[in-house]
């Protein structure tokens, strides 16, 4: 039987709860990171190719899970948790944040218009670098690189058919000096 791991790690005043478990049904090892009870990201590693080896056992799976858990815990301690997670959902960054400011009204003239606002302790951040990734079904991801203006805002347009937006996802990463923020959004129809 495989047991999971749970570790609380404090980094710059924020307590991160790292939780790892083997998901046998899905044949992957999953590590999730929580802040104040909210999942901010996860790492999932498939192990099906290892499971087909004759010497694979629950003990080996346990060691693989332990190594993955330890790697994520170390990344949190070093302030690079976003670098090791496969999916992120808004990693706290001590007041530095990126928000999608027009999330309720994105389709304009056959394009998705994305407007972002970057702030530090509530004040706009000029000159922050943003990288956005729009993932549409059955298409290659679309990347854009932006820089915020004096008001801390940046905008990009992505050509897309409205019917393909129902299951689209938007990832945005903001960097300014030593500050870093990552967010993931899902597009959905409103009303």
Query: How far is the C-alpha of 170 from the C-alpha of 33, rounded, in Å?
Result: 20
Question: How far, in Å, CA of 108 to CA of 188, rounded?
Answer: 15
* 17-56 residue pLDDT tens: 999 999 887 788 999 999 888 888 888 888 878 888 898 8
- Spatial distance between the Cα atoms of 85 and 44, rounded to a whole number of angstroms: 8
CB count in 10 Å sphere of residue 137: 11
Domains of the chain: 5-87 (no CATH), 96-186 (2.60.40.10)
The answer to whether the beta carbons of residues 27 and 48 sit under 8 Å apart is yes
Neighbours of 93 (CB within 10 A): 19
Two structure tokens written together for 185: 């959004």
pLDDT in tens, 86-112: 766 666 555 678 887 776 666 667 677
């Amino acid at each position: 039987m495989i047991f999971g791991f749970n570790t609380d790690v404090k980094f710059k005043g924020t307590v991160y709860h790292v939780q790892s478990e083997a998901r046998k049904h899905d044949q992957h090892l999953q590590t999730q990171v929580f802040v104040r009870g909210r999942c901010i990201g996860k790492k999932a590693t498939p192990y099906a190719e290892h499971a087909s080896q004759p010497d694979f056992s629950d003990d080996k799976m346990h060691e693989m899970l332990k190594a993955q858990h330890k790697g994520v815990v170390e990344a949190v301690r070093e302030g690079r948790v976003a670098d090791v997670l496969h999916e992120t959902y808004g990693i706290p960054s001590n007041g530095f944040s990126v928000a999608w400011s027009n999330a309720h009204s994105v389709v304009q003239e056959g394009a998705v218009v994305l407007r972002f606002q970057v702030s530090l302790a509530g004040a706009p951040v000029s000159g922050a670098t943003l990288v956005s990734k729009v993932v549409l079904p059955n298409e290659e991801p679309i990347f854009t690189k932006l820089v915020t203006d004096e008001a801390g805002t940046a905008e990009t347009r992505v050509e897309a058919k409205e019917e393909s937006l129902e299951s689209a996802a938007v990832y945005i990463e903001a960097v300014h000096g030593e500050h870093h923020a990552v967010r993931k959004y899902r597009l959905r129809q409103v009303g």
